[in-house]
Chain A
Amino acid sequence: MTGNFVKPCIAFALSLALGVAGGQASAAELRIGGVGGAAQAAATEAMVKPYEAMSGAKIIEDEYDQKLAEIRSQQEAKSLKWDIIMVGPSIGPLACDEGLLEDISGKDIVKQSDFTKPLIPCLVPMFSSSGVMVYNGAKLGDNGPKTWADFWDVKKFPGKRGFYNAPNETIELALLADGVSTADLTKVLTSPGGIDRAFKKLDELKPNIQWWNSSSEALQLLASGDIAMTYAWNGRVTKANMDDKRDFRIVWDAGHLNGSEYYAVMKNTPNLDGAVGFLKFAAEAKQQAAFTNITPYAPLNNAAVPLLDPSLAEVLPSSHMNTAVDQDDPAYVSFWLDNMDNLNERFAAWQAQ
């Protein structure tokens, strides 16, 4: 009786193992490391699925925590998980500088004339995202926080605060709360003592901080009442309001961190041509607009703007640029080029104290 059980088991196992080996051999496969959450969901609908239907390529999507280390680790281990990767401001230029991404400037993927900001050799600009202050209107109504100083004020607004679990996009907020204006932020950040000032300000709020790793998690915490307010990326917030009937309010006027998100190709990918083919498609105005209509991050391709749903204008970062800190500013980018590593470790040490 047991023999009757074992034999099919072995046969099953063998067939599965062979199936895996066969699966890995297929060449048309394209692997993408996305940023997860609503942005990736929109990319799936607006770019990945149509491209699969059009080209017959098979795309496997993965997600990561948007940290440089993941890219470094794959290059260092010489085992690439992805061919294409979505990278954010400061991480993208840094990875490009370190030679972790392919230089695709000669591949004719995008034209400079379609974009306001200068193109970077390894990076295909996809959308503009803002890191914003959010609170739950269902709990605080119209009497929510107005400034980052309010965000720091746990007497006036009791409860925990949500932050992205990284030094980048955290120490900036500390400086804003400490009275630095959005216009001066990069100057203060890069000047001597700027980092210490930020950590000192963070010390004040530390017992009340809840770190999150994705903005979906942030919004989950906000909805459940575990945190009173949070830093989050604008598209996911608006998406939650649209899909789940939340009343999350974005405080644009407090100041927000606005930067470009990019697609890039991993250095030494075996599937460079396939990757370039997908990126050409994804960068087209039509797909760009479709992306924004699903999850309201602003497109960077100017040709996509006329194709947008006009009702989205108010919720897009592009309508609030007067209170934005520009994360694509070369001075800001070069600050993170020089300081990402030591700040990462200092931040981890500070968190663990």
Chain B
Amino acid sequence: MEIGGPELTRALRASRRRQQVGALTLVAPALIFLIAVFAIPLALFTFRSVDNAETWSVLPLTRSALSNWDGKDLPPETVYAALATDVQAIERSAAATLGRRLNYSEPGMRSLIISLHGLKLDPARPVAAQMIAANVRWGEHRIWQVIDSESGRLTPYYALRALDLQLADGRIVASSSEDSATFRSIFARTFWISGIVTLLCLIIGFPVAYVLATAKGWFGRILFISILLPFWTSVLVRSMSWILLLQQNGILNRFLIDIGLINAPLTLIYNRTGVYIAMVHVLLPLFVLPLYGVMLKVDRALLRAAASLGARPLAVFRHAYLPQVIPGVMAGLVLVFVTAIGFYITPVLVGGGGDQMISYFVAFYTNASVNWGLAAALGTLLLLATLLCLGVFRWAFGSATMVTGR
């Protein structure tokens, strides 16, 4: 191969290029698929946290009429007329959506907009007077301020709200509304629960991975299967089973009472304890399996050498064994933590109201409150937190070890 002139080099380069093109062609369908069904939805999801389409797209006339308003007194008749025209031009359900959107900024906007949608206006008389006659709040300066500030293409409202902040007179201040969830404390709770679960996985999982890596014969095989089986069993089924085990009259409480360890049943579920137990159960295999892989590759000769040089077992462990498995431990910890902060199913099934994590609120604002902007803002923050954890890990340990299941 070494012999040969520039022709051969060129031919080699061409063949390598051909190989690269061929390889990219093979990868292309999967990449295109992921861009279309994963990357684009994700980007749009993130965009929704600043998107103001609900007001922007339905209030074109109002927007242009408001551009001539100086913001000092009540807006002129043209603005009233434009808003009435805009609102009455859309369907009732769209008007309700608009009202709900504005209601986030100013309570009472929902019924104002909905009643404006159904208001019969006499074209011969001024619209402003008729609207104020129907509801005096149309004569409030504050109402028009809100409509003016919320009619832009983008809004900072959701992102701020997700951080317990709000905009007041152009400045960012702490949120005051009692309706707003205390999202900062929910993020803190999410990290706290995930941290505890990760720590528990480390304490329990390390010896298990060690035994798994050293055990032989039927013991090793049974142990391996008893870790692999939960790994591939539905999270839903596992969380549900914990309900049956831990509930007041469940198997564990009955067992403990029967053997005389306790007199009254313990409260083990629908609280934090239940969440910890079930989450550790779900995530433990995720910690053990990669660590097991690393432990298998540990250089035994090095350990023997250290021991034969007279090192005590603890010293062998600390100076010869631990350095070899630390990358595996770290990979497992990051994997568990990052997966834990996105948990949804398990806390819903085995936790109480005070144990729900951020995913619950993403789902809540999607399904139970239909405040999709806020759901997107919370989800985007969760995504950023996830990426931040992984980024820090990659920066510290390189990218090689992150290839394990969910």
Let me know if chains A and B touch directly in the complex, using CB atoms closer than 8 Å. yes
Q: Which residues from A are CB-within-8-Å of B372?
A: 76
Do residues A341 and B248 form an inter-chain contact, with CB atoms below 8 A? no
Q: How far is the CA of A245 from the CA of B356 in the complex (A)?
A: 35
* Cross-chain contact of B114 among A73, A97, A225, A348 (Cβ < 8 A): A97
Q: Which residues from A are CB-within-8-Å of B185?
A: 353
Q: Which residues from B are CB-within-8-Å of A337?
A: 111
Enumerate 22 A-B pairs (CB-CB under 8 Å) in ascending A order. A69-B370, A76-B97, A98-B114, A100-B93, A210-B270, A210-B352, A224-B249, A224-B250, A226-B270, A338-B111, A341-B103, A341-B369, A342-B179, A345-B181, A345-B369, A346-B179, A348-B364, A348-B368, A348-B369, A349-B181, A352-B186, A353-B185
Q: How many positions in chain A have a CB within 8 Å of any CB in the partner chain?
A: 31
Q: Which residues from A are CB-within-8-Å of B110?
A: 338, 341
Q: Which residues from B are CB-within-8-Å of A210?
A: 270, 352
- From 57 to 99 in chain A, residues with beta carbon under 8 angstroms from any chain B beta carbon are 67, 69-70, 72-73, 75-76, 97-99
Do residues A73 and B247 form an inter-chain contact, with CB atoms below 8 A? no
Q: Is B241 an interface residue (CB 8 A)?
A: no
Q: Which residues from A are CB-within-8-Å of B220?
A: none
Q: How far is the CA of A75 from the CA of B93 in the complex (A)?
A: 8
Q: How far is the CA of A342 from the CA of B180 in the complex (A)?
A: 9
Q: Mark A325-351, 1 if CB is under 8 A from B, else 0.
A: 000000000000110011111101101
Q: How far is the CA of A351 from the CA of B182 in the complex (A)?
A: 11
Q: Is A211 an interface residue (CB 8 A)?
A: yes
Q: Which residues from B are CB-within-8-Å of A353?
A: 182, 185, 354
Residue ranges of A at the interface with B (Cβ–Cβ < 8 Å): 67, 69-70, 72-73, 75-76, 97-100, 209-211, 224-226, 267, 337-338, 341-346, 348-349, 351-353
Q: How far is the CA of A70 from the CA of B361 in the complex (A)?
A: 16
- A69, A209, A337 interface centre (most CB from chain B within 10 Å): A69
- A76, A209, A267, A348 interface centre (most CB from chain B within 10 Å): A348
Chain A interface main SS type: helix
- Further pairs besides A73-B367, A352-B182: 9, Cβ < 8 Å: A98-B92, A99-B96, A224-B249, A338-B110, A345-B179, A345-B180, A348-B361, A349-B182, A351-B353
Closest Cβ of chain B to A309, distance in Å, is: 34
Q: From A71, which residue of chain B is reached at the shortest CB distance?
A: B370
Q: From B54, which residue of chain A is reached at the shortest CB distance?
A: A76
Q: Is B63 an interface residue (CB 8 A)?
A: no
Q: How large is the interface on B (under 10, 10 to 19, 20 to 34, 35 or more residues)?
A: 35 or more
Do residues A69 and B367 form an inter-chain contact, with CB atoms below 8 A? yes
Identify the 6 closest CB pairs spanning chains A and B, nearest first. Answer: A99-B92, A351-B353, A349-B181, A98-B96, A99-B93, A226-B248
Do residues A346 and B114 form an inter-chain contact, with CB atoms below 8 A? no
Q: How far is the CA of A226 from the CA of B267 in the complex (A)?
A: 9
Q: Is B48 an interface residue (CB 8 A)?
A: no
Do residues B368 and A349 form an inter-chain contact, with CB atoms below 8 A? no
Q: How far is the CA of A344 from the CA of B103 in the complex (A)?
A: 13
* Cross-chain contact of A341 among B100, B114, B364 (Cβ < 8 A): B100
Do residues B180 and A225 form an inter-chain contact, with CB atoms below 8 A? no
Q: How far is the CA of A211 from the CA of B352 in the complex (A)?
A: 8
- B93, B97, B114, B185 interface centre (most CB from chain A within 10 Å): B93
Closest Cβ of chain B to A81, distance in Å, is: 12
Q: Which residues from A are CB-within-8-Å of B361?
A: 348, 352
Do residues B181 and A352 form an inter-chain contact, with CB atoms below 8 A? yes
Q: Is B2 an interface residue (CB 8 A)?
A: no
Q: Mark B179-202, 1 if CB is under 8 A from A, else 0.
A: 111100110000000000000000
Q: From B264, which residue of chain A is reached at the shortest CB distance?
A: A158
Q: How far is the CA of A219 from the CA of B248 in the complex (A)?
A: 14
